[in-house]
Chains A and B, each alone.
Chain A
């Protein structure tokens, strides 16, 4: 399956509207044989679920998971306004 525009449209709806995902901040880019998911989420569980749901919905696409976890360290600096 090639990553045509309709697939991209369906994928965007899936990321935002599937109750197991509901992510509007995840993007995807085309790769040679499929797509790479890019962005950041709040837990490893969510990252794995997104990649699993996308892979199941588009079994003929190679899905590369480049989603990371957003860091939660303390700030070291103050911005003076």
Chain B
């Protein structure tokens, strides 16, 4: 593995690392040379087991102080103890950037790399998705996913950058869920996320986690490469993707 080519950015990514005291130190040997392999690291949610502050401190210890900027989102596990605000705060104190329906722009090799992120939510995929109809619980479930996707899409489109990257926990497409039971697809992702990604110009990569038994590669209907980087899917400390800015000039879908 050599350095990043000119006009390119190398993105390292992993999700679903589920840190707790029993895992601290496990990733560090593989992160030692991260600066030689990538320009930034994305953490695609489910950073903890139960979403506690103590577990967040483990994440901060494991992924803090690295040679490259770290951009993270939270996943459903990180909400389990209703401490998500404190979890985010602990990570940010350690120097990680934590996104939720928001974005950040990093300078890598002279390229302005914009990353927008959200946990996202379920709801399912076109033709087989949940509807905002009937009981309040059903409407709330559906609405949550749609609202997050809409706010995320606004954040992604608003980035002032050369290339955009989408970072979500839930999947924007069904292809990267292959291997999971079809019956649970509505709990694993939402096509509204793909719609948000395809609605922004120049998105070069969409990264997600959550689907441990899914597949690595997919694509949005608009042609944006999607990668499921859940740790049990990639089966190594992180994956590295190289984006060439010149090949990421696809316009947003009407």
Contacts and interface: CB of A to CB of B under 8 A. Distances in A.
B49 A22 contact: yes
B1 A76 contact: yes
Nearest to A79: B241
A75 B239 contact: yes
Interface residues of B, number: 38
Interface string A68-81: 00111111111111
Q: Which of A22, A78, A80 has the most CB of B within 10 A?
A: A78
B22 A73 contact: no
A78 B241 CA distance: 6
Contacts of B89: none
Contacts of A76: 1
B30 A74 contact: yes
Contacts of B231: 40, 42, 70
A42 B238 contact: no
A60 B234 CA distance: 36
A40 to B, nearest CB: 4
A25 B50 CA distance: 15
Given A22-B77, A43-B22, A81 B212 contact: no
Contacts of B30: 72-74
Nearest to B23: A42
Interface in B230-248: 230-232, 235-244, 247
A71 B29 CA distance: 12
A46 B232 CA distance: 15
B141 interface: no
Nearest to B230: A25
Interface string A20-47: 0010110100000000000111110110
A79 B230 CA distance: 16
Contacts of B50: 19, 22
B233 to A, nearest CB: 9
Given A46-B22, A72-B236, A72-B237, A77 B77 contact: no
Given A22-B50, A25-B232, A73-B30, A45 B241 contact: no
A81 B232 CA distance: 22
Contact of A45 (B22, B204, B235): B22
Interface string A43-79: 1011000000000000000000000001111111111
Contacts of A73: 30, 236-237
Nearest to B239: A75
Interface of B: 1, 10, 12, 16-19, 22-23, 26-27, 29-30, 33, 37, 49-50, 77, 80, 204-205, 212-213, 225, 230-232, 235-244, 247
25 contacts: A25-B230, A25-B232, A39-B232, A40-B212, A42-B22, A42-B231, A43-B23, A46-B22, A70-B235, A71-B236, A72-B29, A73-B236, A74-B237, A76-B1, A77-B1, A77-B240, A78-B1, A78-B240, A78-B241, A78-B242, A79-B240, A79-B241, A80-B244, A81-B243, A81-B244
The 4 A-B pairs of least Cβ separation, nearest first, read A25-B212, A43-B22, A40-B232, A74-B30
